[in-house]
Structure 1
Amino acid sequence: MNKKFFLILSLLGFLTISTAQKKKITLEEIWGGEFRTEYMDVLRSMKNGKQYTILNFTQSPQTSSLDKYDYQTLEKVETIVASGGTVPFFTSYTFSEDESKIMLATEVEPIFRRSRLGIYYVYDIASKSMTKVSDTKIQEPMLSPDGSKVAYVQDNDLYIFNVASKTVQQITTDGNKGTIINGVTDWVYEEEFAFVRAFEWNSDGSKIAFLRFDETEVPLFSMDVYGQGLYPFPYEFKYPKAGENNSIVTLHMLDVKSGSISKVDLGNPYYIPRIKWMNSPEHLSVQTINRHQNHIKLLDVNAKDNSVSILLEEKDKAYVDIDDDLTFLPDDSFIWTSEGDGFNHLYLHSKNGKLKNQITNGPWEVTQYYGYDEANDKIYYQSVENGSINRDVYSIASSGKDKKRLSNKEGTNSAAFSADYTYYINTFSSATTPYEFTLHQVAKGKRIKDLKEDNELISKGRLIKDNGALLKKLEGYELVPKEFSTININGNDLNMWMMKPADFDPAKKYPMIMFQYSGPGSQQVANSWLGSNDYWHEMLASEGYIVVCVDGRGTGYKGRDFKKVTYLNLVKYETEDQIAAAKKLSELPYVDEDRTGIWGWSFGGHMSTNCLLKGNDVFEMGIAVAPVTNWRFYDTIYTERFLRTPEENPEGYDNESPFNYPELLKGKYLLVHGSGDDNVHVQNSMRMIEALVQANKPFDWAIYPDKNHGIYGGNTRLHLFTKMTNFIKENL
């Protein structure tokens, strides 16, 4: 046995004091919120760069207030608006570009993952007056730059509300459920391109660019809602499964003053995943991508005459990812992210699209782009340069020189910058430290000489909020550290963590349960604070199980080739890596090779099912929650990005579909799904169940009525994890 198999990374000392008389974590505590972290409410910098706003709530009585704070002192300066009197309880807010008005959201209800309906008000800061936008619920209202108008979508049509006159202008008239959508996205764009509002004001409020979706030919999906009534009823929506028709999406330009709409000829693009106005009110950037998603174009649309020119094109042998990093600098030169050199990096392009220079460079990935400080020519970003399980915040000149690491703790760091980049608030956590929020000074110089506070103190970071109380509480519980290491599988050093029982004895043998997700570009092995699943894993460790997580090939932050090796063979290499990792771990003297389990959710549920079947000589037990069981049942954008269409690549779809080989099942199998899952349809589990029945294979299963992909609400999560815990205890 290789003595260097484990390289435990600097996590010693984490709650490792004597476990005598310590409490064990319970499921009721996990799902009752006992270990919930204190988190800092989302803050937004005011344009002056000196102050920020936070939306605060109280529960009893239920109130909301939008409060302004000072970066320098961290003290509240004023309450801008609070619920009470004529102001209803509100749950989100958006400033107009000039910060004269605020859009307040009330009575919000979800549609799908990101889409919402709500009643909205415009609050005028100067006059302290409230104006209701619509008596009926609307979608995605957006203030014009000067705050005088609100564009929004209602019943698939685009409208403009004049705040002063309280009049409404209907812009489009052809919106209709199941056929035409104006200004918001269809289901698959919302889920996979991660946006809902499909219209944008230009910088002077003279134009609105919007997308129109014709989903007439998209197949209709229906699922029963059981509810509380005598009869269930069908819920129907358009859902394009792999290989089926997508919406026909077109770009249109509204001249606000005249009300005229013109269609922009983009040359028949298949997808339009992003539109974004440049700083010039006459130029709109549009990203288009082909159905295979391996050829992206960035286009410049001249709003004067709708003429179109190509700024850049990018092709990849596998696929190109869509992100929100595109940023236009004051002269409309722009920053673009690309995996062109094998790792995700930042690039600077001139206004006409010509590459000026690569900004970041190295065998590591940029994971988030924060912004550009024109006054000091500094770009701010997050990356994994300090190891793929960590995140750090950096600054760099647009030339690619003068790089500086701003964060100073090893773990996961992210930043929220003030508008003028004088300050940033750093959010830090690690596997041993719950979230800490600290105020930092970006750099010392003329802009902050007037500070009356100790500059050095701010530079090092002044604590705003931490979770010391939670850490103190956890000292009374039996917890064990995540031991981070790498494991060499199929020629790759894969990131891994392991939890061992608190009273671990290397002379004993322990059952092992593996957890993974494994989806393209994902990460589960990260040096960050515990989530609910981690507390459950801690509970399992306290019950005598070794818990392991391995990020195999196809996961993220280790370069393009590592991530895209799974192209056209989704789940094949990922399954091989989990099986091989389980075999290698079973060679450890303290792992019982006859008691090995694996579990996962969604993509991870597909994986756990596949591993249990194809690795039936390795795994004795598997749990799959809301799994895909054949990619033919999943949506076009996600699935075809990695597999192309079923017609082009039938083997890629069927060779890794577990209901095509149910006879391989030997171990104990628990299959769980929510019947109201609009994302991974319960059809996946029903087909798996039928295959197992016809193969006469015993298994356990549970269906949660009307629950979506998250399977939550009331005691649902507690019931689910109680079932999973009992299943593991009985079968491992």
Structure 2
Amino acid sequence: MKKNWMSLLLASIPMAILPSSIALAASTTVGGNTPLSIERMYASPALAGTSPRGLKLSPNGKLVTYLAGRKDDQHLYDLWQMDVASGKQSVLLSADKLVAGELSDEEKARRERQRIYGQGIMEYFWADDSEAMLIPASGQLYYFSVKTNQVKLLNTGEGFVTDARLSPKGHLVSFVREQNLYVLDLKTERITALTTDGGGAIKNAMAEFVAQEEMGRMTGYWWAPDESAIAYTRIDESGVEQVTRNEIYADGIKLTEQRYPYAGKNNVKIALGVVTLNDKNVAWVDLGDNTDIYLPRVKWLPDSQHLSYQWQTRDQQSLDLRVVAIDDIKHSQNVVQERSQAWVNLNDDLHFLKQQEAFIWASERDGFNHLYLMGLNGKVIRQLTKGEWAVDSVEFVDEKAGQVYFTGRKTTVTEKQLYRVALAGGKVEPVSSRAGMHSTVFADNQPVYLDYFSSLSQPPQVSLHNESGKRLAWVEQNEVKKGHPLYDYFGLWQLPEFGELAAEDGQALQYRLFKPTNFDASKKYPVVVRVYGGPHAQLVVNSWSHQDYFTQHLLQQGFIVYQLDNRGSAHRGTKFEYVIYKQLGEAEVNDQKVGVDYLRSLPFVDGDNIAIYGHSYGGYMALMSLFKAPDYFKAAISGAPVTDWSLYDTHYTERYLSHPETNAKGYEASSVLPYVKGYQSGLLMYHGMADDNVLFENSTRVYKALQDEGKLFQMIDYPGSKHSMRGEKVRVHLYRSLADFLVRELK
């Protein structure tokens, strides 16, 4: 794709009154015309080409490092390097040099919640001197000398190691083993247990289930910058309901004991301690008398003498940023208070400055997520960004130059761009320019960054840029040309039309519409509405996604594919999100009906043959749409759906539905089960039988309710599969089944 091609195209097309529609293109202009089979979608080599992950710049800025899957096995990762000066790329460390082995059940669950899948080298940590790395693999730790190219297996004692990392100055390695926190001195190889009471219901330095799954907090400990101490959580799960969950595999049933915090039930009790390394003494932060709270974020201040933590009420309508001095740990200062009549969204955009007593804070207090410069007393010095658009995240703070680099949706909500703004205030300046999605990784101490870019017409590319956005070098250009895995199929690749509709309250709903291959405006086509529909997510974007492979397959089979981000979706401000508070599946379904009304107004749409398909919250939406609006949808595919919100966890469910005791009617109205009687025909459900996120019981309850009503439907359940339905064989079978169902129901 030529630079600025898409933005020039958009600029040349006038915007229309609602509903508006912008066509990116009917199809790409280069590539072969081989139809995309389901068997090819997830086979090796990866269809999207080389797509590095784990991108980092070495602390000295001389190397770009990344993980890349092999051509013959895209799920087996090696560690690669690119010399910044020469541009030369090579394998830095082959996964073959590490001992393959099993992960602990705890680490498997943690990786599932991190959405990390694969084998070989999956993560690594640079030493501060850029001469070595720590590499966790198969429950063990390896120390890799970049200088000598030697790998050493560290002695961490008996048992599986998890959540390992290098200390800030690289002298020590920390890790969790058997629910206790340890440090290993790299010079003496001595191991020290910093906690000893972990075991059973007590977990030290570990993130609880909802912290990992719902808060985006994957760890339970934090190093002081000067290596003098570690802050850590101690969680007591004894009050959390212990359930025996059946994980059904092809060769038997595994009974798993799990403490699962169902909505309305007990959470863990959490404590925050600071252990000093020289004497192993632990001091406990006074979190207050209310113990039914969340601790979503912890962060040290640069001086290593003060610790910040974010304290959240169970109803998530209050979030406090508190700071405590280590030498007066019982007395916290409440620095920032965020309040909402619905809920306060979490973010990771707290950045303490080193050159002044201030910090950067992200808040939705004006209705959109924006950045504020605040003093340590909590007073706003100035608002750095403002307007009816949202900041995604802070990427880098250059105190020397007085600049804050951040990603956001200022240009359009369907794209993520990199911007910068002065700490002193002023105009927001664009840094990136290409139309699409930009995710960045900055160097530690200078505004040089890696840009992970993709668009609907460009699989992920990685390039190195300077502070003004100028490209310095390609890390992976990933051009779709002859020899690229996608090339033979790219001539049939379809790009969508983007448009906008009005919801019942007048708010703008974004959609994208993919027309079939070899589209003929004189014909009528069946439609598959692909939906997620839940909060903190967005489908209508100009971005590459492997989820779109099945979309392209459907287009080649003569279907239209349509996606609309209903109210409650992300990046459009709190007014757009908060509509769903205390009742799910109402505004969202109404918005999807608005989309169908628009589809039926198009002369090339077969309005009697429209199906809806989604997974997870999208599976919930598919059921609610089919049951509540059977005159809009002829068929539905529901994958791994939540069907009764009392079966889901506290932090997610109560954020949107409040506590069951105070919103019983909302829980009932948000459940799928009261609407089963509205079902007529045309339902396929599937679920992984070892799903530990959306429990399999969610689907079996609907199975039973439909059977009791004498309603005919289809189901496919996958032994051993988790929520994400991983594995090439599983996915091939799943998508073949879905395609067959859609052909039978709509054609």
The TM-score with structure 1 as length reference comes to 0.90
Q: Taking structure 1 as reference, are residues 79 and 539 closer, same or farther at Cα in structure 2, changes over 3 Å only?
A: closer
Q: Is residue 2:64 matched to residue 1:39?
A: no
Q: Tell me what 2:452 maps to.
A: 427
Q: Distance in 1 between matches of 2:694 and 2:94?
A: 40
Q: Summarize the alignment of residues 359-378 of structure 1 with structure 2, pairs less than 5 Å apart.
A: 359-378=384-403
Q: Tell me what 2:726 maps to.
A: 712
Shift of 1:126: 6.7
* Matched residue SS, 1:435: strand
Q: Tell me what 1:25 maps to.
A: 36
Shift of 1:527: 0.7
Q: Is residue 2:586 matched to residue 1:569?
A: no
Q: Is residue 2:342 matched to residue 1:318?
A: yes
Preserved CA contact (<8 Å) 2:18 2:501: yes
Q: Distance in 2 between matches of 1:462 and 1:544?
A: 41
44, 64, 67: which is aligned to 1:52?
Answer: 64
Q: Taking structure 1 as reference, are residues 302 and 392 closer, same or farther at Cα in structure 2, changes over 3 Å only?
A: same
Q: Is residue 2:428 matched to residue 1:395?
A: no
Q: Distance in 1 between matches of 2:314 and 2:447?
A: 43
Q: Is residue 2:540 matched to residue 1:518?
A: no
Q: Tell me what 1:249 maps to.
A: 270
Q: Distance in 2 between matches of 1:405 and 1:467?
A: 25
* Matched residue SS, 2:192: strand
Q: Taking structure 1 as reference, are residues 65 and 537 closer, same or farther at Cα in structure 2, changes over 3 Å only?
A: closer
* Matched residue SS, 1:495: strand
Preserved CA contact (<8 Å) 1:594 1:620: yes
Q: Taking structure 1 as reference, are residues 433 and 476 closer, same or farther at Cα in structure 2, changes over 3 Å only?
A: closer
Shift of 1:629: 0.5
Q: Summarize the alignment of residues 215-230 of structure 1 with structure 2, pairs less than 5 Å apart.
A: 215-227=237-249, 229=251
Q: Tell me what 2:10 maps to.
A: none
180, 196, 199: which is aligned to 2:202?
Answer: 180
Preserved CA contact (<8 Å) 1:121 1:133: no
Q: Distance in 1 between matches of 2:514 and 2:454?
A: 19
Q: Deviations over 1:497-542 (max 9, x none)?
A: 111122323232221110110111310000112x233121122122
Q: Distance in 1 between matches of 2:560 and 2:485?
A: 23
Shift of 1:262: 2.0
Q: Taking structure 1 as reference, are residues 131 and 658 closer, same or farther at Cα in structure 2, changes over 3 Å only?
A: closer
309, 331, 335: which is aligned to 1:286?
Answer: 309
590, 593, 609: which is aligned to 1:579?
Answer: 593
Preserved CA contact (<8 Å) 2:26 2:494: no
Preserved CA contact (<8 Å) 2:414 2:542: yes
Q: Distance in 1 between matches of 2:541 and 2:95?
A: 40
Q: Summarize the alignment of residues 222-621 of structure 1 with structure 2, pairs less than 5 Å apart.
A: 222-227=244-249, 229=251, 231-267=252-288, 268=290, 270-306=293-329, 307-330=331-354, 331-443=356-468, 459=470, 462-464=473-475, 465-469=477-481, 470=484, 473-474=487-488, 477-490=491-504, 491-529=506-544, 531-621=545-635
Q: Summarize the alignment of residues 73-88 of structure 1 with structure 2, pairs less than 5 Å apart.
A: 73-75=86-88
Shift of 1:25: 1.6
**Unaligned 5+ runs, structure 2:** 1-14, 101-119
Instruction: Out of 678-687 and 508-517, give the one that drifted further.
Output: 508-517
Preserved CA contact (<8 Å) 2:301 2:352: yes
Q: Is residue 2:206 matched to residue 1:192?
A: no
Preserved CA contact (<8 Å) 1:280 1:332: no
Q: Deviations over 1:566-619 (max 9, x none)?
A: 111122100111123213321322222211110100000000000001001111
Residue identity in the other structure for 1:273: P
Q: Taking structure 1 as reference, are residues 58 and 503 closer, same or farther at Cα in structure 2, changes over 3 Å only?
A: closer
Shift of 1:66: 5.3
Preserved CA contact (<8 Å) 2:136 2:164: no
Q: Distance in 2 between matches of 1:503 and 1:82?
A: 45
Task: Indicate the RMSD between aligned Cα atoms, in angstroms.
Answer: 2.7
Q: Distance in 2 between matches of 1:684 and 1:223?
A: 13
Q: Distance in 1 between matches of 2:71 and 2:525?
A: 45
Preserved CA contact (<8 Å) 1:659 1:692: no
Q: Tell me what 1:452 maps to.
A: none
Higher relative contact order (CA 8 A, sep 6+): 2
Count of matched residue positions in the alignment of Structure 1 and Structure 2: 701
* Matched residue SS, 1:594: strand
* Matched residue SS, 2:311: strand
* Matched residue SS, 2:470: helix
Shift of 1:695: 1.1
Q: Deviations over 1:634-659 (max 9, x none)?
A: 00000101111111111111113121
Residue identity in the other structure for 1:539: H
Shift of 1:16: 5.7
Q: Tell me what 1:11 maps to.
A: 24
Preserved CA contact (<8 Å) 1:25 1:477: no
Q: Taking structure 1 as reference, are residues 503 and 79 closer, same or farther at Cα in structure 2, changes over 3 Å only?
A: closer
Instruction: Out of 542-551 and 430-439, give the one that drifted further.
Output: 430-439
